[in-house]
Structure 1
Amino acid sequence: MNHFELFDITPVYALDLADLQLRYRKLQQAMHPDRFANASERDKLLAVQRTSQLNDAYHTLRDPLLRAEYIVSLRGVDMQHEQKTLQDPEFLMAQMAWRERVEELNVGDFAAIDEAFADLERETKLLQNTLEQQIEANANEEAADTIRKLKFMQKLGRELEALEDE
């Protein structure tokens, strides 16, 4: 049973997260291992396994990037084990520009860091919109490339946060 089937929802990128959370809570209550305290050891183990699967499914579906990766994997694109790199020269140039920008930021220059965060957020939203369109159109290989781009943007965001924390 895949994650969408577990929650009895259509496998789409644009999920109603409030509905997902409601379904999660209902399933969590029904599957919680405490409800099986007086059951056999086998049933207790199954309850723990189902709860683990439920938590993993919820974690995956509530995160837009993990959800997208999961959708394209259901469609036959193996994102976990592939070593494919992006062949988009324009994005590779943008990566280099971002790297230079982050390296040039000074610790304590909060205005420049905030500006970088704002630019990163704007570009990330554009990529997320593109990703949603690609998934809806079943353009799975293109979606996989966009996921790779978003992973880079996510990593940059973590680097900016670390710089801000310093």
Structure 2
Amino acid sequence: MNFFALFGLPQQFHIDMAVLSATYQSLAQVTHPDKFSAAGGKEKLLAVQKNAQVNDGYQVLKKPLSRAEHLLELRGLELQHETQTMQDSQFLMQQMEWREELHEIEKASEPERALAALELQIAAQTKQHFSRLESLLNQQNAEADKNAAMEVRKLKFLEKMKKEIELKEDALFDY
């Protein structure tokens, strides 16, 4: 399913979020199963399926990382079930350093400050990788798409790292 087509949006990374939201509201109203309560069983089932597609599409398109994955899938690169490993040794080393830093954070003289600094590093890296990802996706060629897939893998790691930082904050400071 092409969610860009479903929402009448151009098949590109940057989309107008206000248009996405307005289109979602409109499609959700039109396909809501309650509107088909008097219809036959087949029509009800179709309404439920269409409404689920609208909801799924909105969830995918509203998040930049899942939107990029969807765009790459539409271009023939399947990322969700892949087993390809990270080939960027510099990024792998950086991952190891961040993980070690996070693991040792409670031993820091000022753990809250150390955690905030790590969080800022992750945020800066995330911003850089999203910028690179958008640039690669705009090129719309096989080599750029392959490199964009690598950026998606890196961003998934950074997203996971951000969640781990939040969990560590909760554990250390009992928020």
C-alpha RMSD of matched pairs (Å): 1.2
Equivalent position of 2:63 in the other structure? 63
Q: C-alpha distance in 1, partners of 2:81/2:7?
A: 26
Structure number with the bigger relative contact order (C-alpha 8 A, sep ≥ 6) is 1
- Post-superposition shift, 1:64? 0.5
What is the one-letter code of the residue matched to 2:126? T
Q: C-alpha distance in 1, partners of 2:92/2:62?
A: 29
| 1:109 maps onto 2:116 in alignment | no
- Post-superposition shift, 1:25? 0.2
- Post-superposition shift, 1:89? 1.3
Listed as ranges, the gaps of 5+ residues in structure 2 are: none
Q: C-alpha distance in 2, partners of 1:98/1:111?
A: 15
Equivalent position to 2:126, from 121, 124, 144? 124
SS of residue paired to 1:76 = coil
Q: C-alpha distance in 1, partners of 2:121/2:149?
A: 23
- Post-superposition shift, 1:115? 1.4
Q: Number of paired residues?
A: 166
Equivalent position of 1:164 in the other structure? 169
Q: C-alpha distance in 2, partners of 1:128/1:93?
A: 20
**Residue deviations 1:1-40, cap 9 Å, x none?**
4101100110111111111001000111111111111111
Equivalent position of 2:29 in the other structure? 29
Q: C-alpha distance in 1, partners of 2:50/2:99?
A: 42
Aligned ranges 1:16-95 → 2 under 5 Å: 16-95=16-95
| Identical positions, percent | 41
**Residue deviations 1:41-60, cap 9 Å, x none?**
11011100001111000000
Q: C-alpha distance in 2, partners of 1:134/1:101?
A: 31
Q: Runs of at least 4 residues of structure 1 off by over 6 A?
A: none
Listed as ranges, the gaps of 5+ residues in structure 1 are: none
- Post-superposition shift, 1:109? 2.2
Q: C-alpha distance in 2, partners of 1:37/1:75?
A: 38
**Residue deviations 1:65-96, cap 9 Å, x none?**
00001100110111122100111111111111
**Residues 98, 118 of structure 2: 8 Å contact kept:** no
TM-score of the two chains, using structure 2 as the length reference: 0.91
Q: C-alpha distance in 1, partners of 2:146/2:161?
A: 23
Equivalent position of 1:15 in the other structure? 15
What is the one-letter code of the residue matched to 1:66? S
What is the one-letter code of the residue matched to 1:112? A
**Residues 68, 152 of structure 2: 8 Å contact kept:** yes
